[in-house]
Amino acid sequence: MSTKNQWLLNIGMVVVSFLTLPALGLRNLKRFLPASILILLIEMLHQRYGKKQRWWVFYNKPKSSLFGEFPFQLGPFLMVALWTLKLTYGNFSRFILLNSLVHAFIAFPFSFFAEKLKYYSLVRINNFQFFLYFLSKVPILYMFQTLYLKIRRN
């Protein structure tokens, strides 16, 4: 993938993700943003470890997280956290189910598509392990949100 196309894809992912914010609502944004940002920070730490272990490779010209993983984290990952909390918070089994469906889409068809586009490729982990990598953060996100709401009420 050319650098120009990669820039367009990265910017497009972030912009399209952020275009969903008005539909989320200001009240829900204030309610769910702290836990979502906390899980985003954890994801950034995991991403650095995964990159060091060569679990995946981004085919970006400047070898930087800013051009590879960061647009995923700032765009789709953050918005998935916000939207799944909005749609299912209060029902843990539905929360796990919705996150499983979304992360299965990212780990399987989206990863195959990204590899064909030469955007990123999984190297030392397979698609199922990539799915588990994302899914491992789901209970932590729910726990953060529950703790945040308890602290906020007191």
**pLDDT higher than threshold 70 for residue 141:** yes
Alpha helices in the chain (DSSP H): 3-18, 21-24, 26-52, 69-72, 78-88, 92-105, 111-116, 127-135, 138-153
What is the average pLDDT value for the chain, to the nearest integer? 90
pLDDT score of 71: 86
Q: Hey, is 58 helix, strand or coil? A: strand
> If pLDDT is split at 50, 70 and 90, which confidence band does 127 have?
very high
**pLDDT higher than threshold 80 for residue 62:** no
In terms of pTM, does the model score above 0.85? yes
Task: Output the six-digit token pair for 139.
Answer: 């209970």
Q: pLDDT for 1-30, tens place per residue?
A: 677 888 888 889 899 999 999 999 999 999
Structural domain for 122, as ranges: 3-153
> If pLDDT is split at 50, 70 and 90, which confidence band does 34 have?
very high
Query: What are residue 117's phi and psi, to 5 degrees?
Result: -80, -5
pLDDT score of 24: 94
Please list, in sequence order, all residues whose beta carbon lies within 8 angstroms of the beta carbon of residue 33, skipping any fewer than 6 positions away.
82
Rounded to whole angstroms, how far apart are CA atoms 20 and 82? Answer: 10
**How many independent structural domains does the chain possess?**
1
Greater model confidence, 72 or 33:
33
- Mean pLDDT of all residues in 43-58: 90
Amino acid letter, residue 11: I
% pLDDT > 90, the chain: 69
Report the candidate in 16, 14, 5, 43 with the shortest Cα–Cα distance to residue 119.
Answer: 5
Rounded to whole angstroms, how far apart are CA atoms 100 and 141? Answer: 13
Report the candidate in 81, 10, 6, 13 with the shortest Cα–Cα distance to residue 41.
Answer: 81
Q: Hey, is 154 helix, strand or coil? A: coil
